[in-house]
A and B are shown apart, each in its own frame.
Chain A
Amino acid sequence: MDDASAEWVYALSGADAAREAGLARLHDLLVRVAVREVHRRFSGFSGQELEDLAHQAADDAMVAILGKLDTFRGESRFTTWAYRFVVLEVSSKLGRHYWRQHPVEILETENWDRLPDRFGTDPGEHAEQAELVKAVRQAVDETLSEHQRRLFVAVVLNGVPLDALVTCLGTNRNAIYKAIFDARRKIRVFLVANGYLEEKGR
Chain B
Amino acid sequence: MTVMNSWAALDRFLRTDPADVGCEQAMEILHVYVELVAADQDAARRYLGVAAHLAACGPCGEDFRGLLAAVIED
Contacts and interface: CB of A to CB of B under 8 A. Distances in A.
Interface stretch (A10-18, A19-27, A36-44, A47-55): A36-44
29 contacts: A36-B69, A37-B66, A37-B69, A75-B31, A76-B32, A76-B34, A79-B71, A79-B74, A80-B67, A80-B71, A84-B31, A87-B63, A119-B6, A119-B9, A122-B2, A125-B3, A132-B6, A132-B10, A136-B10, A156-B13, A162-B59, A174-B24, A177-B60, A181-B22, A184-B15, A191-B14, A196-B7, A201-B8, A202-B7
Nearest to B74: A79
A81 interface: yes
A172 B67 CA distance: 20
A104 interface: no
Interface of B: 1-11, 13-16, 20, 22-24, 27, 30-32, 34-35, 56-60, 62-63, 65-67, 69-71, 73-74
Contacts of B71: 79-80, 83
Contacts of B27: 84, 88
Interface-central residue, A40, A80, A91, by most chain B CB under 10 Å? A80
What is the interface residue range for chain A against chain B? 35 or more
B63 A83 contact: no
A40 B59 contact: no
Contacts of A87: 63, 66-67, 70
A41 B2 contact: no
Interface in A60-89: 75-77, 79-81, 83-84, 87-88
Given A80-B67, A80-B71, A81-B31, A128 B62 contact: no
